[in-house]
Amino acid sequence: MSSGKPVSFGDKVRVRATPETKAKGIAGLVGLVYGETTPTVTGVVAIGELLDDYAVNVHFDGNSETFWFAPELLEFVDDPGGAEPRLVVAPKEMKRWWKF
Protein backbone atom coordinates (compact mmCIF):
# COMPACT_ATOMS: atom_id res chain seq x y z
CA MET A 1 0.00 0.00 0.00
CA SER A 2 1.34 3.39 -0.88
CA SER A 3 0.79 4.93 2.57
CA GLY A 4 2.58 2.12 4.36
CA LYS A 5 -0.39 1.81 6.72
CA PRO A 6 -2.07 -1.60 6.79
CA VAL A 7 -5.81 -1.33 6.29
CA SER A 8 -8.12 -2.19 9.15
CA PHE A 9 -11.81 -2.20 10.05
CA GLY A 10 -13.58 1.02 9.06
CA ASP A 11 -10.80 2.37 6.83
CA LYS A 12 -11.66 3.88 3.46
CA VAL A 13 -9.73 2.07 0.71
CA ARG A 14 -9.33 2.19 -3.07
CA VAL A 15 -9.07 -0.96 -5.19
CA ARG A 16 -5.85 -1.02 -7.22
CA ALA A 17 -6.13 -1.48 -10.98
CA THR A 18 -5.05 -4.99 -12.01
CA PRO A 19 -6.27 -7.20 -14.83
CA GLU A 20 -8.48 -9.09 -12.34
CA THR A 21 -10.04 -6.00 -10.72
CA LYS A 22 -10.58 -4.38 -14.13
CA ALA A 23 -12.32 -7.53 -15.41
CA LYS A 24 -14.69 -7.46 -12.40
CA GLY A 25 -15.38 -3.73 -12.90
CA ILE A 26 -14.14 -2.75 -9.44
CA ALA A 27 -10.74 -1.18 -10.22
CA GLY A 28 -10.53 2.30 -8.71
CA LEU A 29 -13.66 1.94 -6.58
CA VAL A 30 -13.51 3.37 -3.06
CA GLY A 31 -15.17 1.52 -0.19
CA LEU A 32 -15.01 0.73 3.52
CA VAL A 33 -13.25 -2.21 5.15
CA TYR A 34 -15.96 -4.32 6.77
CA GLY A 35 -13.84 -7.18 8.06
CA GLU A 36 -10.93 -9.56 7.72
CA THR A 37 -10.53 -13.32 7.75
CA THR A 38 -8.26 -16.33 7.41
CA PRO A 39 -9.38 -17.92 4.12
CA THR A 40 -8.11 -21.42 4.96
CA VAL A 41 -10.46 -21.44 7.96
CA THR A 42 -13.52 -19.67 6.50
CA GLY A 43 -13.27 -20.79 2.88
CA VAL A 44 -13.78 -17.34 1.37
CA VAL A 45 -12.43 -16.75 -2.11
CA ALA A 46 -10.45 -13.54 -2.39
CA ILE A 47 -9.69 -11.42 -5.41
CA GLY A 48 -5.95 -11.37 -6.03
CA GLU A 49 -3.10 -13.62 -4.97
CA LEU A 50 -2.96 -14.15 -1.21
CA LEU A 51 0.64 -13.83 -0.04
CA ASP A 52 -0.46 -14.72 3.49
CA ASP A 53 -3.52 -16.52 4.82
CA TYR A 54 -5.33 -13.21 5.24
CA ALA A 55 -8.09 -11.46 3.25
CA VAL A 56 -9.93 -8.15 3.69
CA ASN A 57 -13.66 -7.56 3.11
CA VAL A 58 -14.70 -4.29 1.44
CA HIS A 59 -18.17 -2.81 0.93
CA PHE A 60 -18.92 -0.21 -1.75
CA ASP A 61 -21.80 2.29 -1.47
CA GLY A 62 -24.71 1.41 -3.72
CA ASN A 63 -23.76 -2.27 -3.84
CA SER A 64 -25.26 -4.85 -1.48
CA GLU A 65 -22.45 -7.29 -2.29
CA THR A 66 -19.11 -7.15 -0.48
CA PHE A 67 -15.83 -8.44 -1.89
CA TRP A 68 -12.86 -10.22 -0.32
CA PHE A 69 -9.43 -9.01 -1.41
CA ALA A 70 -5.78 -9.81 -1.02
CA PRO A 71 -4.62 -6.80 1.05
CA GLU A 72 -2.04 -5.85 -1.59
CA LEU A 73 -4.89 -4.86 -3.92
CA LEU A 74 -6.14 -2.20 -1.51
CA GLU A 75 -4.77 1.30 -1.12
CA PHE A 76 -5.47 3.21 2.10
CA VAL A 77 -7.42 6.43 1.39
CA ASP A 78 -8.30 7.67 4.86
CA ASP A 79 -9.76 6.86 8.23
CA PRO A 80 -13.28 8.30 8.31
CA GLY A 81 -13.12 9.88 11.76
CA GLY A 82 -16.13 9.47 13.98
CA ALA A 83 -17.19 6.19 12.38
CA GLU A 84 -18.51 3.81 15.00
CA PRO A 85 -18.74 0.07 14.43
CA ARG A 86 -22.25 -1.26 15.11
CA LEU A 87 -23.87 -4.63 14.96
CA VAL A 88 -26.72 -5.01 12.54
CA VAL A 89 -30.00 -5.73 14.26
CA ALA A 90 -31.58 -9.03 13.27
CA PRO A 91 -34.86 -8.54 11.37
CA LYS A 92 -36.65 -10.81 13.81
CA GLU A 93 -36.07 -12.23 17.25
CA MET A 94 -33.36 -14.86 17.33
CA LYS A 95 -34.09 -17.93 19.45
CA ARG A 96 -31.71 -20.51 20.77
CA TRP A 97 -32.31 -23.82 18.98
CA TRP A 98 -29.93 -26.06 20.87
CA LYS A 99 -30.48 -27.79 24.20
CA PHE A 100 -28.04 -28.80 26.88
88 lies in a domain?
A: no
| Chain centre distance of CA 96 | 29
Read off the pLDDT of each residue in 29-36 and give the average, rounded to a whole number: 93
Beta strands in the chain (DSSP E): 12-15, 30-37, 55-59, 66-69, 74-78
Q: For the segment 35-77, what is each residue's pLDDT rounded down to a tens digit? A: 999 999 999 999 999 999 999 999 998 888 889 999 999 999 8
Look at residue 56 and tell me if it is in a domain.
yes
Which residue range forms the structural domain that includes residue 18? 12-78
Q: Is residue 20 part of a domain?
A: yes
pLDDT in tens, 71-96: 999 999 886 665 555 555 555 555 55
**How many domains are contained in the chain?**
1
Query: Rounded to two decimals, what is the model's pTM?
Result: 0.73
